[in-house]
């Protein structure tokens, strides 16, 4: 017998206390309104457990009573994994599990709870003289549980890897309420399957992450940052290769941007001035992190050599923290500014690094044939092959009409990505947005394995129903 909303709310209140349950839809806005405003289902309730034991109690009760749960961190996800799909789910908000359990800078790890924001984790590490090198635009709101569940990437994947590679261990509540105690600080542990890697990136479909042990690194002594003018993505790729040869793992970021995105930010007042040396079709933002006692001037030397042989046309090297902040703000606002300009079709894709110029050239030509006057704004992490292939509506075209014709544009971009050996979702995940796309592009055997894992860990379909596998 299925329970109605009042019965569910009453039962949850008995488990975690009435003050930790929200049943009034008018108070659920912060938990339902996701960044892209694409998903608009309600929830039966929002429950905010205050301890791991309370998360276990909620899962155990829900699994036994046919109530579906959606784990949620900071509600910053872009594919709808963290918000309802059907309207009969309960959101499990982890915001109250926000403790820093330990920081060991010398050993290079910290253990934090899932509700801690990424920015708070940064501050906790830096207070001990260490660095957690995971930087994303939403880090002030994104929480560790969601960051790991979505396997977030960001601007330093080039040197340090994505969230999965920065995670040593997790603690997670399974669908039936059992607790997986996988917190450890081991870099070597060959004792069977790596269960941590199942839970990281699973988007809350296999377990509710409640805490994690993360890798820390020494704080750099300095940063060398430059905004570099280039003729094309091909030249940007050549520059990347050269800087990586010079700097190795000290090259911690290499981002690609078109002039169009900078012009939009100047137009809409999002940056006070142009960070570049002047108009150019393309730009790269490169950063070298200098370790304590390391050599300075590596970036400057590399740029001088590239300028001499024509690989680049100009560059601005940051001379102050304000300069560096402006350069990074320009990069981080590339996506947001498109919303101010009107409707935009977005793709989070990856291809082998060497194929990035081909992706941009073929993709831009393909979408122009479909929608004449469309304005491509491909940008992103050239250093790891992840490009946000975004497309702004043509000038004077109705935004709703533009978005209504998005499907052929999607198909064109994904066809090119697949042909080049890439991925239809580089860092945002699948959620509820790309479930059908996953079915049509993922290897059938991989899908069978994923379904078998889901069935083994969550046979009742309690956790995040309909997400990822559909």
pLDDT given for residue 97 in this prediction: 98
For residue 281, count CB atoms less than 10 angstroms from its CB and return exposed for 0-12, middle for 13-18, buried for 19 or more.
middle
Q: How much is the mean pLDDT over the chain?
A: 97
pLDDT tens, residue by residue, 48-82: 999 999 999 999 999 999 999 999 999 999 999 99
Q: Region 247-276: what's the mean pLDDT?
A: 97
Average pLDDT over residues 459-469: 98
pLDDT digits (tens, 9 = 90+) for 142-180: 999 999 999 999 899 999 999 999 999 999 999 999 999
Crossing angle of helices 356-370/233-247, nearest 10°? 160
Q: What is the pLDDT of residue 154?
A: 87
Closest residue by Cα to residue 344 from 399, 268, 416? 399
CA 6 to chain centre: 36
What is the per-residue pLDDT for 36?
Answer: 86
Q: Mind listing the pLDDT tens digit for each residue in 91-113?
A: 999 999 999 999 999 999 999 99
Closest CA to 115 of 171, 61, 35: 171
**Does residue 199 surpass a pLDDT of 70?**
yes
Segment 424-452 mean pLDDT:
96
pLDDT tens sequence across 443-462: 999 999 999 999 999 999 99
Q: What pLDDT does 54 receive?
A: 98
Query: Structure pTM?
Result: 0.94
pLDDT-based confidence at residue 1 (cuts at 50, 70, 90):
low
Given phi > 0 = left and psi -120 to 50 = alpha, else beta, which region is 232?
Answer: beta
In 410-447, which positions are buried (b, 16+ CB within 10 angstroms) versus exposed (e)? bebbbebbeebebbbbbbbbbbbbbbeebeebeeeeee
Task: Look at residue 251 and tell me whether its pLDDT is greater than 90.
Answer: yes
* Rounded distance between C-alpha atoms, residue 307 and residue 303, angstroms: 6
Q: How confident is the model at residue 437 (pLDDT cuts 50, 70, 90)?
A: very high
**What domains can be seen in the chain, in order of their start residue?**
5-93 (3.30.43.10), 100-218 (3.30.465.10), 222-332 (3.30.70.2190), 342-429 (3.30.70.2740)
Q: Which run of H or E residues covers position 367? A: helix 356-370
pLDDT single digits (tens) 357-376: 999 999 999 999 999 999 99
Query: Looking at the predicted structure, is the pLDDT value of residue 300 above 80?
Result: yes
**pLDDT number for residue 287:** 98
At 379-401, the pLDDT tens digits run: 999 999 999 999 999 999 999 99
Alpha helices in 91-142 (DSSP H): 118-127
Residue 368 burial by Cβ neighbours in a 10 Å radius (0-12, 13-18, 19+): middle
């Amino acid at each position: 017998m299925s329970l109605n909303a009042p019965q569910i709310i009453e039962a949850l209140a008995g488990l975690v206390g009435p003050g930790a349950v929200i049943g009034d839809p008018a108070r659920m806005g912060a938990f339902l309104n996701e960044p892209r405003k694409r998903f608009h289902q309600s929830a039966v309730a929002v429950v905010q457990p205050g301890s791991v034991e309370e998360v276990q109690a909620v899962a155990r009760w829900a699994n036994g009573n046919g109530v579906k749960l959606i784990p949620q961190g900071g509600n910053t996800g872009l594919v709808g994994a963290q918000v309802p799909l059907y309207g009969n789910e309960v959101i499990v908000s982890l915001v109250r599990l926000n403790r820093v359990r330990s920081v060991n800078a010398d050993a290079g790890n910290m253990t934090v709870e899932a509700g801690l924001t990424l920015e708070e984790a940064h501050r906790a590490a830096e207070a001990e003289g260490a660095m957690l090198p995971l930087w994303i635009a939403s880090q002030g709101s994104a929480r560790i549980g969601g960051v790991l569940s979505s396997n977030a990437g960001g601007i330093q994947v080039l040197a340090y890897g994505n969230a999965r590679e920065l995670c040593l261990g997790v603690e997670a509540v399974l669908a039936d309420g059992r607790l997986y105690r996988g917190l450890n600080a081991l870099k070597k542990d060959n004792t069977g399957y790596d269960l941590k890697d199942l839970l990281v990136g699973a988007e809350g479909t296999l377990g509710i992450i409640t805490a994690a042990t993360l890798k820390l690194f020494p704080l750099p002594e300095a940063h060398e940052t430059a905004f570099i003018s280039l003729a094309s993505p091909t030249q940007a790729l050549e520059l990347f290769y050269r800087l990586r040869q010079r700097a190795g793992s000290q090259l911690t970021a290499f981002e690609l941007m078109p002039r169009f995105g900078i012009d939009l930010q100047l137009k809409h007042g999002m940056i006070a001035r142009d960070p570049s040396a002047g108009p150019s079709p393309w730009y790269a933002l490169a950063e070298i992190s200098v370790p304590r006692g390391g050599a300075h001037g590596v970036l400057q030397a590399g740029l001088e050599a590239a300028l001499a042989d024509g690989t680049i046309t100009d560059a601005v090297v940051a001379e102050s923290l304000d300069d560096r902040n402006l350069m990074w703000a320009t990069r981080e606002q590339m996506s947001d500014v498109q919303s101010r300009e009107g409707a935009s079709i977005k793709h989070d894709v990856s291809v082998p690094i060497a194929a990035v110029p081909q992706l941009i050239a073929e993709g831009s030509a393909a979408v122009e044939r479909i929608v004449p006057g469309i304005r491509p704004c491909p940008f992103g992490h050239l250093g790891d092959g992840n490009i946000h292939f975004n497309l702004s509506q043509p000038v004077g075209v109705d935004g709703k009409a533009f978005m209504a014709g998005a499907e052929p544009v999607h198909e064109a971009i994904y066809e090119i990505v697949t042909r080049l050996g890439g991925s239809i979702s580089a860092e945002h995940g699948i959620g509820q947005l790309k479930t059908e796309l996953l079915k049509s592009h993922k290897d059938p055997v991989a899908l069978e394995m994923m379904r078998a894992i889901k069935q083994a860990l969550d046979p009742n379909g309690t956790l995040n129903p309909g997400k990822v596998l559909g």
